[in-house]
Amino acid sequence: MHNWNDVLDYGDQSMERALQLEKSVSEFLMDIQDKLRKKMNDKDGNEIFLKLGSEEMKLLNKFAEIKNDIHSALCNSINTRAVVEKVREIVTASNVYAMECKNVDKNVNCIILRDIAAYIVKLFKMFGAPLNGGHYFENNGSTESNNKSGVDEDEMLLPYLSALANFREKVRLSAIDNKNKDILKLCDELRDVDLFELGIKLEDKDGETVVKRVGREVLLKEREQKEAIDEAKRLKKDKNEKERLEKEAKMKVDPQIMFTIGEYASKFSAYDEKGIPTHTLDGEKLSQAQRKKMEKNWDTQRKKFEQFKGISA
């Protein structure tokens, strides 16, 4: 998020932006991995090798343009800030492409998306910031292992997790059709409790379930962030409601008595026919400037009071 010669900012907002970037890119990688795995497991695995249409060419041209921009940014005194913005741009373009394909019931070109993902993984690794879910693309989506045991854990576990997710989705849809709340609750518990504890993330998206193996610590951090955001929204809502009620309460005050209550209570000893103070509590007559200020406050309250009566009528 910073250029190499900038003063580093470790403030809450800066760290939050960095975490959001990491999360959005990691989610993008795992979405692409899910698409690749599903297409490779289809009966017709050749669907991942689709002909290039206008939308594919548009995405490829965008990818080439962004790679060139990133190269220029790196040559410009390693402008990492510009690189990050370009990464966001290609992630957004890829997501838009995938959504457009879905809207017209068209298969995405997984090879293009895989190449984009692999490029992003390589870029972040160069910066010393390996991404969650990135190891899959270091071998261009192959099943070659990246660990010492010679076994790729994702490739070994995800087919079984996908089978479980597909079964859960069928049960969930059946429960929705039959309005069985108990079964729906169990489906949610499987997603939110059992698989959560194993570091597995299930996302229900428009008739399909996306499986992501992200790790329990990552999921805990995401949950904490979501709870913090929800709490901030709740506090803001409560604050707005409190301000609304206070404003409404002030509007209800008749200007005739406004200078005898609240902040003005016990400050004046005499009032005119409108209820505007003429003398202080000590019997001293208000100055012309003080009187003018009171009249202005009275007129403002009169307008608010009339507005309230109009709303209440």
pLDDT higher than threshold 60 for residue 69: yes
Q: Which of 47-61, 62-76, 136-150 has the lowest mean pLDDT?
A: 136-150
pLDDT higher than threshold 50 for residue 308: yes
Q: What percent of the chain has pLDDT over 90?
A: 47
Query: Mean pLDDT, the chain, as a whole number?
Result: 85
Most confident of 19-33, 61-75, 158-172: 61-75
Band (pLDDT 50/70/90 cuts) for residue 24 is confident
Report if pTM > 0.75.
no
What mean pLDDT is predicted for residues 129-147? 61
pLDDT higher than threshold 80 for residue 243: yes
pLDDT single digits (tens) 172-212: 999 999 999 999 999 999 999 999 999 999 887 766 788 88
pLDDT higher than threshold 80 for residue 73: yes
Q: Which of 93-107, 151-165, 247-261, 280-294 has the lowest mean pLDDT?
A: 151-165
> For residues 284 and 270, is the Cβ–Cβ distance under 8 A?
no
DSSP secondary structure of the chain: ---TTSPP--SHHHHHHHHHHHHHHHHHHHHHHHHHHHHHHSS-GGGGSPPP-HHHHHHHHHHHHHHHHHHHHHHTT--HHHHHHHHHHHHHHHHHHHHHHHHTT----HHHHHHHHHHHHHHHHHTT-PPTT-GGGGGTT-----STTS--HHHHHHHHHHHHHHHHHHHHHHHHHTT-HHHHHHHHHIIIIIHHHTTEEEEEETTEEEEEE--HHHHHHHHHHHHHHHHHHHHHHHHHHHHHHHHHHHHTS-TTTGGGSGGGTTSEEEE-TTS-EEEETTSPBPPHHHHHHHHHHHHHHHHHHHHHHHHH-
Q: In this predicted structure, what is the pLDDT of residue 143?
A: 44
Q: Which two tokens stand for residue 106?
A: 């068209």
Q: In this predicted structure, what is the pLDDT of residue 133?
A: 66
pLDDT single digits (tens) 249-266: 889 999 999 999 988 988
Considering only residues 110 and 19, tell me which one the structure prediction assigns the higher pLDDT. 110
The residues with which 204 forms a beta bridge, in sequence order, are 209
Long-range contacts of 159-168 (CB under 8 A, 24+ apart): 159/37, 159/41, 161/200, 161/211, 161/213, 162/37, 162/38, 162/41, 162/211, 165/202, 165/209, 165/211, 166/209, 168/202, 168/209
